[in-house]
Chain A
Amino acid sequence: MSDVVEKTLTALPSLLSLDSQPGSAKLSSSSKLGLLIRGITELTSKHEEEKLIQRELSSIKEQVSSPNATMRQMKELMVRTIYCEMLGYEASFSYIHAIKLAQQGNVLEKRVGYLAVSLFLNENHELLLLLVNTVLKDLQSTNLIEVCMALTVVGQMFPKDMIPAVLPLVEEKLNHPKEIIRRKAVLALYKFYLIAPNQVQHIHNKFRKALCDKDPGVMSASLHIYTQLIQDNPEGYKDLTASFVTILKQVVGGKLPMDFNYHSVPAPWVQMQLLRILSLLGKNDQSTSEIMYEVLDESLRRAEMNHNITYAILYECVKCIYTIHPKSDLLEKAAKCIGNFVLSRKINLKYLGLKALTYVVQQDPKLALQHQMTIIECLDHPDFIIKRETLELLFRITNAQNVTVIVEKMLDFLRTSEDDYTTIDLIGKVAELAEKYAPDNEWFIETMNTVFSIGGDMMQPDIPNSFLKLLSEGFDSVEEDSKLRLFAVNSYVSLVQGEPSKLPQRFLQVICWVLGEYSHLREDLEPDVVLRLLAKLLDMKSCSSETKSWVLMAMTKLCSGGAAACAAQEVSETYSSSLDTVLRQRAHELQFLSQNSELQARVFPRSDDPEPVEVDSSLSFLDGFVSEALAAGAAPYKPPHQRQEELSRSKALNMEPYGLSLPISMSSSSIAERQSPTLLSISSGLSGDSTDLSHKGGSTALKLDGVKRVWGREGYLTQKEPAEAAQVEVPSPLQSPSQQGDGDRSQTQTSTPAATPECDQEKQQLASSLFVGLSSQSSVCLMGKSEPTFQRFRKKTKGPSTSSITSLETANQLVSPPPVDKLLCNSLLDSSIASELGVSSPEQTTQLSEGFTDNATCDAQVELAGSDMKGSDPAVNGDDDCDVAAFSEDPDPHKDLCLPSHLPAEFSGLVHSEITPVVTNQSLDLSVCHVHKEDCLVLVVFITNSTDSAIQQLLVQIVSEELEVTCMYDSPEEEVRSHVVAVRQYCIKVKRPLVHFELVGMVSYQLPAEMPQTVQFSYKLPLTSFIRPLTVSTEEYGTMWLAFSHDTKQNLTMMSDEQQPLVATLNALKKKLLLHVVEIIGEEGIVACSVLQDQPCLMHCRVHAGMLAVWLRSSVPDLPDCLLYHCQRTLQEH
């Protein structure tokens, strides 16, 4: 340490100590502040302190309001008030006096007045307006000290709205002969830029002047503005790179006056600021980076003095080198630098080294390999912070091969951690890693169990939510899914049998849900056993009412059948009189459903492949409500990120302990989404395994094998080899001999003297398991760059099966079905699943034609099926249904194939959908297709009389609430002879846009000598069937855009076309949705379409941060939302 420091340090204790100095008592007694401080220091309780300060404050209050108080006394009083308020006692009475003091006091008094104002008031305080005049006056003062003070306070806080009043005066000061005034003026403008950037837009060139100021102080003040400006827009300031490089060169080269030195290092903080600016400028920009290589090299070279401040500079330098476009020899030097840090015995330096390594490892994972032994040692470091930082580092280098070891280390740490914030943060990371890289089911469930146990009720609610989502949505293989679920069930049953009272509520809720959904997978487990286990939870004192309602929900799913129903009855009786309304509701549901097993089965169909729930993601059905609310003066909706932004702007320093991202209440979202009180949404309905059947291949099994081999007892050793090989191999280019020597020395130094060879070996083993997969050749899985092949629990990108089917349907409508589909359909009909065609609906046929074997049939379709179907089992058991049998026994491909020939000739040139059978009974076959005409959609209904006699009084009525349906020809023949096809046409127009339209048809007819009969059918049309390209010029588009008032915005995922993602995306939309691409300019594109011919909708697309920001506008309410839904669907399919 230098002499200067030594001297300073010895001088300091006397300077800073309060209590140990004999002389101070006498001196301080003359100062009232001294008395106050002394008084407070001597107190022993908080209560006494409060009493003393309240007394002090009331005495101050009395004195400041006295008209005789001199400014000198006022200043003294104000300092005391500052002290009291600093201790947390509000003294708002003094605020106005502080402003008065700044206004009327002489120099020192004025300064204290300004100081008190800046301490007491925040930027939005209304009293601040009273300061504006004083500031204006002082800015014009001839006394430089007063000008200086005014500029200081302006740089600290100033009412945003009053900036224009002082701006000209501040600008003028930029040319002041005194450097301190120029410097303060620059800082004041910086403040203005922070609070109101557009107010200072016109003086950007003056900032450049400040940057070139001959005084280094003014120059360095301007660096703050440039850091901010460049951060906001790096492209705009590339031309300044050379200037910053020159400045840094001069600073590093010692060209500044000596008094800028700190411990003989020239202006270290300015150097660091410049390095940060350079890294902002050089990021992802090779040519700009090249300009700075030389100066970075010089900075590294110059910063060789052994002092903390040079290390601080080196740290910035290393970060910069790893941020900008890489240059190998600089990287090498930077890596060496990090090595020195990490190996240092100075703990602060070690910390900084780990932090740098954490940053750098994202670019260069090999560096972690080099320092693996140090990292291992840091994991066992006695200092909590070092451990914590090491875990952060490990988190960044986790891959499928080392995940178990790293997660174990993290959990070890968590078990000893007492800090809530750390726990929340780390538990989230463990959950993230577990989901991403889990090697097997067992490990995954057990890890998540630990996560839930440790994370308890303070972890972020999205952890259990996404866990349940993962379980319910499943992965690529149905078999694996049930294995995972079964494992979870087994694990939870034993937990509940153990000591459930020790488990956190959130975990219990997860357990309840899983047992309710999946306990049937375990065949030896009777529902009533599970029910009794769950009932035990209800009796626990610690069980919250929220958890109780989860328990009851789970019971509701299990309560069918004898013993279970009895057990459920008991419970529901207890809770049906509960004071908690939610519990009471649940209890009543349980009671009702346990008595009616048929309804229970319908509400909770127990199937691994459950019927998907249709979700209108655009929530278009609420639009009416929203517009009403808006009209009534409600505030418009702001998306969560915007709200969050505004929130964080309003209170910048969040002192709430759990102020983490968006709070999604587990209970509310889960219950609302999956277990709504009306029991309409089917609890397990999110699974969509069928959709992925076609993608299912052997890949899953292969992947799993690969991973397991790594972690088998023997496999462990085989993995060790490449890791060690890499360890030997890697250092050679990057580590200089001296460096290696260093490393060796430190290894011997840091290992405890008692360390036995086994201990070292243990560490070696740990190292090989931690750093496996990081060697240069093996696949690198870093945060954010994870390799998909190793992700076991990859979330499905596709939505639930219905949605994809609907979009498939859309696709089919646009091109007439190829004959192959028909064949496929027929061959499937012949096969085992033919029986399921009982109530064939458009969806199903499409599904079949696509080769899906989704055996889920929805209730809604059943209800809409032919009247003669009514009363049959809702769970569609085709085997005992004669209609179905008739149909499946007689597939008669000829019948289907001949229908197209009945399509009216006038439609021959037009695009039409596949002809879909909608109703079949003994007497009729009803098929429907739709034809895209320019001005309308024509629905063509084919009625085939399958009886041997003529059908009479045939009447087809089609209705829809949102569509306008007109019959195209006044009812033609009312009689249809035997085995003849009658064709009806309906012209359909859109009254009100919807995502999907539903047409309900009613066919009434009479067979000779029989009662008249009716058959109902339904037919679904997506909005896309009505969309037509709208050819407009860019100018026309512009006029229309301004005229339209209904709009919506969203970010969509783009297609991953390397070259032109925007063009590729728009082309896909054009192809699938028939939109018209008006123009594409650079990163922006405009697209137009209309619903039939009269309802135009415009779309504006812009590439933003890798996403497609779309903005839709239309003259028709709801249309933008509906169209957006389809765009989203279309793009998701890719």
Chain B
Amino acid sequence: MRVSGTKDFQKMIKFVLMVNQQGQTRLSRYYEPVDLSKRAVLEAEAVRCCLSRNKDQCSFVEYKDFKLVYRQYAALFIVVGVTDSENELSIYELIHNFVEVLDKYFSRVVSSLPIMFNLDSVHIILDEMIQNGHIVETNKSRILAPLTAIDKMADG
């Protein structure tokens, strides 16, 4: 059997990727140590898995011994690697929550600049939401609170 005992409850997020349609990584955050050399292969394979699927297919893909949950926004894919025991649908909605937070922040603060040019801010937002592979905050205003405070201080 693939999962057994306590491992069954070990729900966690292994990584978050943002990738464009050409398969180029725009952001990656790992919650388990992965060698730098292995990341490129993993990302390429994960993206291939997701890109090969059409809209009528399920948003969850099996990849090795874990699952990928992905969601597409225009040309951008957000892919989250989770353990088999994780609730895929909740992760699917978490991605959307993340995008809504990005929307809220970037439309207000730096309206027209594509988010990818603000890699650091995206990372800071993600850090507020996910820590050690667990979802730690989903309240939008609270996620943004530290970042907006930093921006204010930097401006002022």
Q: Could you tell me the distance between the alpha carbons of A275 and B88 in the complex, rounded to whole angstroms?
A: 16
Is B120 touching A115 in the complex (CB atoms < 8 A)? yes
| Interchain CB contact under 8 A, A421 and B138 | no
Mark contacts of A188-202 with chain B using CB atoms, 8 A cut-off: 1 yes-contact digit, 0 otherwise.
001100100000000
Min CB–CB distance A508 → chain B (angstroms): 28
Residues of A within 8 A of B59 (CB): 347-348
Q: Is the CB of A16 within 8 A of B33?
A: no
Which positions 9-46 of chain A face chain B at CB distance < 8 Å?
Answer: 9, 11-13, 15-21, 23-24, 27-28, 31, 33-34, 37, 40-41
Whether A18 pairs with B138 at a CB distance below 8 angstroms is no
A884 at the B interface (CB under 8 A) = no
Q: How far is the CA of A730 from the CA of B37 in the complex (A)?
A: 55
- Contact partner of A180 (CB less than 8 A), chosen from B107, B138, B146, is B146
Give residues 106-152 of B contacting A (CB, 8 Å).
Answer: 106-107, 112-117, 119-120, 123-124, 127-128, 131-132, 134-142, 145-146, 149-151
Does A877 sit within 8 A of B, measured CB to CB? no
The smallest C-beta distance from A348 to any residue of chain B, in angstroms, reads: 5
Q: Are B120 and A272 in contact (CB under 8 A)?
A: no
Interface residues of A in 473-532 (CB under 8 A from B): none
Which residues of the partner chain A approach B115 to less than 8 Å between Cβ atoms? 15-16
A385 and B62 contact, CB distance less than 8 A = yes
Tell me whether B62 and A422 are in contact (CB under 8 A). yes
The answer, among B9, B39, B134, B141, for a CB contact under 8 Å with A224, is B134
**Interface set, chain B 53-88, CB cutoff 8 A to A:** 56-65, 73-76, 87-88
> Roughly how many angstroms separate A190 CA and B132 CA in the complex, as a whole number?
10
Taken together as a complex, chains A and B put the C-alpha atoms of A266 and B9 apart, in Å, by 24
Which of A80-88, A542-550, A555-563, A1011-1019 is near enough to bind chain B?
A80-88
A86-B25 CB under 8 A given contacts A108-B150, A383-B57: yes
A175 on the interface (CB 8 Å rule)? Answer: no
Q: Least Cβ distance of A387 to chain B in Å?
A: 11
Q: A16-B114, A33-B117, A87-B25 are in contact. Are A8 and B9 (CB under 8 A)?
A: no
Give Cα distance in the complex from A8 to B92, angstroms: 16
Q: Which residue of B lies closest to A107 (CB)?
A: B153
Closest chain A CB from B72 CB (angstroms) = 10
Q: How far is the CA of A23 from the CA of B96 in the complex (A)?
A: 26
On whether the beta carbons of A119 and B123 are closer than 8 Å, the reply is: yes
A17–B99 Cα distance when bound, in Å, is 13
Check A312–B89 contact: CB distance below 8 A. yes
A958 lies within 8 A of chain B by Cβ: no
Contact B146–A148 (Cβ < 8 Å): yes
A-side contacts of B14, CB under 8 Å: 653
Given known pairs A27-B112, A145-B149, A272-B87, the reply for A106 and B93 (CB within 8 Å) is no
- A894 an interface residue at 8 Å Cβ cutoff? no
Residues from chain A with a CB closer than 8 A to the CB of B114 are 15-18, 21, 24, 28
Q: Residue on B with the closest CB to A37? A: B116
Q: In the assembly, what is the distance between CA of A122 and CA of B33, in Å?
A: 7
Q: Which of B16-39 contact A (CB under 8 A)?
A: 20, 22, 24-30, 32-39
- Selected contact of B32 from candidates A270, A280, A652, CB within 8 Å: A652
- Rounded to whole Å, the gap between the CB of A266 and the closest CB of chain B is 11
A17 lies within 8 A of B76 (CB): yes
B153 to chain A minimum Cβ distance, whole angstroms, is: 5
Complex-state Cα separation, A653 to B135, whole angstroms: 19
The answer for the CA separation of A422 and B149 in the assembled complex, in Å, is: 47
Tell me which of A18, A75, A268, A280 has the highest count of chain B C-beta atoms within 10 A of its own C-beta: A18
Q: Select A386's contact among B58, B124, B131, beta carbons within 8 Å.
A: B58
A141 to chain B, nearest CB (A): 13
Are B36 and A90 in contact (CB-based, < 8 A)?
Answer: yes
Q: How large is the interface on A (under 10, 10 to 19, 20 to 34, 35 or more residues)?
A: 35 or more
Partner of A259, one of B35, B41, B132, B140: B140
Query: Does any Cβ of B come within 8 Å of A614's Cβ?
Result: no
CB of A191 within 8 A of CB of B132, answer yes
B99 contact from A12, A156, A221, A386, Cβ within 8 A: A12
Nearest A-chain residue to B30, judged by Cβ: A653
Write the nearest CB–CB distance from B5 to chain A, whole angstroms. Answer: 9
> Which A213-256 residues sit within 8 Å CB-CB of chain B?
217, 221, 224, 227, 231
Looking at B88, B119, B123, B139, the one whose CB has the most chain A CB atoms below 10 A away is: B139
CA distance A190 to B12 in the complex (A): 15
Q: Determine whether the beta carbon of A187 is less than 8 Å from that of B60.
A: no
A28, B117: Cβ atoms under 8 Å?
Answer: yes
Q: Mark A373-397, 1 if CB is under 8 A from B, else 0.
A: 0000000001101101000000000
B75 touches A19 (CB 8 A): yes
- Residue B94 interfacial (CB < 8 Å): yes
Please indicate the chain B residues that have their CB under 8 angstroms from the CB of A351 in the complex: 58, 60, 88
| Residue of chain A at shortest CB distance from B34 | A653
A509–chain B nearest beta-carbon distance, Å: 27
A828 beta carbon closer than 8 Å to chain B: no
| Contact indicator A221/B113 (Cβ below 8 Å) | no
Given A8-B103, A224-B134, A269-B138, also A347-B76 (CB < 8 A): no
Q: Is the CB of B65 within 8 A of A18?
A: no
**Is B132 within 8 A of A309, CB to CB?**
no
Does A260 lie at the interface of the complex (its beta carbon under 8 Å from any beta carbon of B)?
A: yes
A183 to B146, CA, bound (A): 13
A349 to B90, CA, bound (A): 11
| A352 engages B73 (CB within 8 Å) | no
User: A891 to chain B: closest CB distance in Å?
Assistant: 57
Can you name 24 A-B pairs with beta carbons within 8 Å?
Answer: A8-B100, A12-B99, A15-B106, A16-B102, A17-B74, A17-B75, A24-B113, A24-B117, A28-B114, A37-B116, A87-B40, A108-B151, A123-B33, A187-B136, A259-B139, A262-B97, A280-B9, A308-B93, A312-B87, A347-B58, A383-B57, A421-B64, A421-B65, A659-B65
Q: A145-B146, A217-B137, A652-B33 are in contact. List 19 more A-B contacts (CB 8 A).
A: A8-B103, A12-B99, A17-B114, A18-B114, A21-B114, A87-B40, A122-B33, A152-B146, A156-B132, A217-B139, A221-B136, A224-B136, A259-B140, A262-B138, A272-B90, A276-B9, A280-B9, A421-B64, A653-B14
The 7 closest A-B pairs by CB, nearest first: A653-B32, A13-B74, A312-B90, A88-B40, A312-B89, A652-B32, A108-B154
